[in-house]
Chains A and B, each alone.
Chain A
Amino acid sequence: SAVISQKPSRDICQRGTSLTIQCQVDSQVTMMFWYRQQPGQSLTLIATANQGSEATYESGFVIDKFPISRPNLTFSTLTVSNMSPEDSSIYLCSVEELMAQTDNEQFFGPGTRLTVL
């Protein structure tokens, strides 16, 4: 399976600032996604990162708050803008591989643990 890395692995930020999280994959992948996992909760899809076009956001998430880039088939960024303590969460990217054995099978990066003070 693809090897996925995320930077930073963790950060502590002041409210009102923004943080950009990077997701790098070691092979080309068809789909890249960004999820959030709030403390004690399960994962929620934020958006699908589309290569060369605007991301597709899920209900409750907007581009102004979570701008996403995907310049190529191996890299994506998620920015958490104008942060508040409610944004404290783990942010994970996931990928669906070109030659996945099973449709919709996704592999996750190690996550970025964000704390907003």
Chain B
Amino acid sequence: RKEVEQDPGPFNVPEGATVAFNCTYSNSASQSFFWYRQDCRKEPKLLMSVYSSGNEDGRFTAQLNRASQYISLLIRDSKLSDSATYLCVDAGGTSYGKLTFGQGTILTVHP
């Protein structure tokens, strides 16, 4: 089983749509998680952290379900500029710093 598993998509949605990505992780000891965004031919950039209480930042909401070892990212009112690959990241159970990346979910928002 992969350590971090994501549906690779692609997800093709119209502007204004709401879209949700899911991610599962295998390390039950992991404590912190992130969503990164990667544009084509660019480096990954941190989108948001994922907390057990959930985390909302504007149109983006991230949720963590520890019992099911499952993370989600919800994007509301999609914009064309949201088109990118979204990477689910397990930051592990310590402050060691190793990030384990999922394979990424491709999102394309069309007019």
A48 and B97 contact, Cβ closer than 8 Å, known pairs A42-B87, A102-B49, A103-B32: yes
Q: Which residues of chain A have C-beta atoms less than 8 A from B91's C-beta?
A: 103-104
1/0 per residue B79-111: CB within 8 Å of A? Answer: 000000001000110011111111110000000
Extra contacts besides A45-B100, A108-B44 (16): CB < 8 Å: A42-B102, A42-B104, A92-B43, A92-B44, A102-B32, A103-B32, A104-B34, A104-B92, A104-B96, A104-B97, A104-B99, A105-B46, A106-B46, A106-B99, A107-B46, A108-B45
Q: How far is the CA of A79 from the CA of B89 in the complex (A)?
A: 26
- Judge whether A104 and B44 touch: CB under 8 Å: no
Residues of chain A in range 84-116 having any CB-CB distance to chain B below 8 Å: 92, 94, 96, 102-111
A6 nearest CB neighbor, chain B only: B43
CB-CB < 8 A to B92: which residues of A? Answer: 104
**Chain A interface size range:** 20 to 34
Question: For the complex, is B1 an interface residue (Cβ under 8 Å from A)?
Answer: no
| Chain A residues within an 8 Å CB radius of B34 | 104-105
Whether, in the assembled complex, A117 has its beta carbon less than 8 Å from a beta carbon of chain B, the answer is no
Partner of A42, one of B32, B97, B98, B103: B103
Chain A positions within 8 Å of B, measured between CB atoms, are 31, 33, 41-45, 48, 58, 92, 94, 96, 102-111
A-B CB contact pairs (8 Å), 22 listed: A33-B97, A33-B98, A42-B87, A42-B101, A42-B103, A48-B98, A58-B98, A92-B43, A94-B99, A96-B97, A102-B32, A103-B32, A103-B95, A104-B34, A104-B91, A104-B96, A106-B97, A106-B99, A107-B46, A108-B45, A110-B43, A111-B43
Question: A44 and B101 in contact (CB under 8 A), knowing A92-B43, A103-B32, A105-B34?
Answer: yes
Residues of A within 8 A of B49 (CB): 102, 105
Instruction: Give the chain B neighbours of A107 by CB distance below 8 A.
Output: 46
